[in-house]
A and B are shown apart, each in its own frame.
Chain A
Amino acid sequence: MIVSVIAFSACNNSSNKSAETQSAKTDSGTTAQTKSAVPANTEATVSIKEIVTAYLQLKNAFTKDDTNDAAAAGSSLEAAFKTFDKTGLTANQKKTFEDVEDDAGEHAEHIGKSGGNIAHQREHFEMLSKDMYDLVKAFGAGQVLYKDFCPMYNNNKGAFWISETKEIKNPYLGKAMPTCGTMKEELK
């Protein structure tokens, strides 16, 4: 089902045009379009896009060593978790989501409140990234994402993050080591 959601949203842009022209042609065509769009819409409520967007914003603030932007993005991420509409979720999905939310929401809140202490914000970002990975794996992001790994962070213990670009931009070491890291997995 997740695959179909991704497939649907991925094809959405390209198929929109033809759908419009099709529905413009006949009235019956329009009804058919609306009908087929209904299940797709209910599935679209499972979209974690806002959460993903806020996370990526946070990640990008860290690549620039910007603690205040990171704090702002942390707060938007916290809000995105809080406002997420769970009504469309199955019992299992809800359980998965809440398990992640319980932890990730706290990290996001903490990052939001820790402006000025980027080292501490990054400690929480590391845990948050694990949560986000599990969330994206479970629900799909609606866009291609990459799991990147930085082997040097945290005294060479290493840590990973999720990125929207193939190019490496390290959020843990920031401007000091912007290209440190490798792509480990493509998340479709």
Chain B
Amino acid sequence: MSRIKKIGLSILVVFSAIQFMQPVRNKSVGLSATDISKVLNIPDSVQAILGNACFDCHSNNTNYPWYVNIQPMGWLMTKHIRQGKAALNFSEFGSYSARRRQSKLKSIADQISDGDMPLSSYIWMHKKAKLTNDEKGLIINWVQRSKDILSIKKLKE
């Protein structure tokens, strides 16, 4: 019994110790000059969906849930954000080349219609990120319009 107590105690010690190791927050003040909203018109309905379901991992501003204060949850979130931003960062969309903007937009539509994004593991913890079929349709239509607008712009250049 005392062995189990010892193990229990050491787990508690480690758990308490890691609480002091809080990861740096993904927060920035104001919209960056390269934000997607500076390049593309985003209707409020679409903006709301993106804000609820996408921006936490795909922008420079995360709306942190309470449990990230508990480690290792915060670390996991940090990892999600790092990987998410590497693949697509809405705050830096304006810095992508015309070619990459098209690719990223197409990937957004593909991922959403395939049901691969938002990640099911993420939805499980963040119910607000779960998209209804109507919401998916709104995003996909907006993406298609945006792709057309960007390619027309490019032709005019």
For the complex with contacts A99-B99, A126-B106, A127-B103, 20 further pairs of A-B residues with Cβ separation under 8 Å are A99-B97, A100-B99, A102-B99, A102-B100, A103-B97, A103-B100, A103-B103, A106-B100, A106-B103, A107-B103, A119-B114, A120-B110, A120-B114, A120-B116, A123-B106, A123-B107, A123-B110, A123-B114, A127-B102, A127-B106
CA distance A123 to B111 in the complex (A): 10
B99 touches A103 (CB 8 A): yes
Number of chain B interface residues as a range:
10 to 19
Binding site for A on B (CB under 8 A): 97, 99-100, 102-103, 106-107, 110, 114, 116
CB distance from B156 to the nearest CB of A (A): 18
Subset of 18 A-B contacts with CB under 8 Å: A100-B99, A102-B97, A102-B99, A103-B97, A103-B99, A103-B100, A106-B103, A107-B103, A119-B114, A120-B110, A120-B114, A120-B116, A123-B106, A123-B107, A123-B114, A127-B103, A127-B106, A127-B107
Question: Does A131 touch B at the CB level, under 8 Å?
Answer: yes
CB distance from B34 to the nearest CB of A (A): 15
Q: Which residue of A lies closest to B116 (CB)?
A: A120
CA distance A131 to B114 in the complex (A): 23
Instruction: Say what secondary structure dominates the interface of chain B.
Output: helix
Number of chain A interface residues as a range:
10 to 19
Residues of chain B with a CB closer than 8 A to A126's CB? 106
Which of A100, A106, A123 neighbours the largest number of chain B CB atoms within 10 Å of its CB?
Answer: A123
CA distance A119 to B100 in the complex (A): 20
Q: Which residue of B lies closest to A123 (CB)?
A: B110
Q: Which residue of B lies closest to A134 (CB)?
A: B99
CA distance A33 to B76 in the complex (A): 63
CB distance from A111 to the nearest CB of B (A): 12
CA distance A132 to B54 in the complex (A): 30
CA distance A126 to B102 in the complex (A): 12
Query: A-B pairs with the 8 shortest C-beta distances?
Result: A103-B99, A123-B110, A127-B103, A103-B100, A103-B103, A99-B97, A99-B99, A102-B97
CB distance from B123 to the nearest CB of A (A): 19
B99 touches A131 (CB 8 A): yes
Residues of chain B with a CB closer than 8 A to A123's CB? 106-107, 110, 114
Residues of chain A with a CB closer than 8 A to B99's CB? 99-100, 102-103, 131
Residues of chain A with a CB closer than 8 A to B106's CB? 123, 126-127
CB distance from A118 to the nearest CB of B (A): 12
CB distance from B66 to the nearest CB of A (A): 33
**In the complex, chain A residues 110-168 whose Cβ is within 8 Å of any chain B Cβ:** 119-120, 123-124, 126-127, 131
CB distance from A30 to the nearest CB of B (A): 46
